[in-house]
Structure 1
């Protein structure tokens, strides 16, 4: 029997396994078990999984909360669309909406202070990717994603949509300032 041609007897599973096949199957199985154990270990000890909360939400109610938040904490507007830049106090709930094709509003947070970031999408699945630190969250319509964030470096960060959401997907960028 060769590996290139199919066996003449179509009941190949009834043939005895070669020693090399057995060794490779054993190595593959052991490697799968090692990777499985590492996934469990990374989850508990790797500190690379976000501790997020997700709730079902009415998009209209979320939009009202986000607009009230933006109205209360707006410090200025930016871009030609006059997107509000909001600077909330420490410990407050911060709201962000993803919709075709922008992230609203622009956030201005303080270094070393903790905030609860609430996000949802108003239309399609969007990917919240905070660059250059590569924090990724899939933002789904009808669900509110809540994340505790504590910025530890000052600077300007880009928020990029990394889930294809339509013809204007390449323009779906936002900003986050950390002072």
Structure 2
């Protein structure tokens, strides 16, 4: 195998429109470098929640206790649970469902505990732009205050297997 040496003059410095596009790209990089910390601290884009280590079986036990203490209805065979205002709500992700469905009150604050029982899942609350990774072994606690009423759909946005497309949950806000 022989190596060929590139011809002299093969590289040409940017000129004309290339310089403009490189300049715009550099300016955009600087703008984004400034905006990322701004969005983090002022844009309320990131979770200010807590995370704790938890065994999946222990989290499921807490979730089952939560369901038994506050079931108020049924949605597609899944219990709808209404926690007391200011209380704790539990939501477990497992192939291929969210358990249970939640009923919350507008303007009330809740501590929402999220955990996966089997593998990585993604919590995406639609139509809001709220996304979190839900991992087994971690109890991720979010303090939430619903600001509008309606039905909100939870979808898994982390591919979790053949039933991933059917992994849908609900939060009802009155």
TM-score (norm 1): 0.84
**Contact 2:89–2:112 (8 Å) recurs in 1:** yes
CA RMSD across the alignment: 2.3
The CA distance in 2 between the partners of 1:18 and 1:152, in whole Å, is 52
2:169 to 159, 162, 174: 174
Could you say which residue in structure 1 is the equivalent of 2:160?
Answer: 165
Say whether residues 1:106 and 2:101 are aligned partners.
Answer: yes
Distance of 1:141 and 1:43 partners within structure 2: 25
1:31 aligned residue (28, 32, 38): 28
Q: 2:39 aligns with which of 38, 42, 57?
A: 42
Distance in 1, matches of 2:163 and 2:19, equals 52
Mapped pair 1:88 → 2:83? yes
**Number of matched residues?**
169
Write the mapping of 1:20-169 to structure 2, written as runs, cut at 5 A: 28-79=25-76, 82-169=77-164
User: Where does structure 2 lack aligned partners over 5 or more consecutive residues?
Assistant: none
Q: Secondary structure at the match of 2:64?
A: helix
Deviation at 1:132, TM superposition (A): 1.1
- Give runs of ≥4 in structure 1 deviating > 3 Å: 15-31
Q: In 2 relative to 1, CA 23–129 (structure 1 residues): closer, same or farther, beyond 3 Å?
A: closer
166-175 or 53-62: bigger deviation = 53-62
Distance of 2:144 and 2:8 partners within structure 1: 62
Partners of 1:174 and 1:134 in 2: how far apart?
16
Partner of residue 7, structure 2: 8
- SS of aligned partner of 1:156: strand
Deviations 1:21-73 (A, max 9, x none): 77765654443222111111111122222212222211111111111111111
Distance 1:132 1:16, change over 3 A: closer
Secondary structure in structure 2 of the residue aligned to 1:32? helix
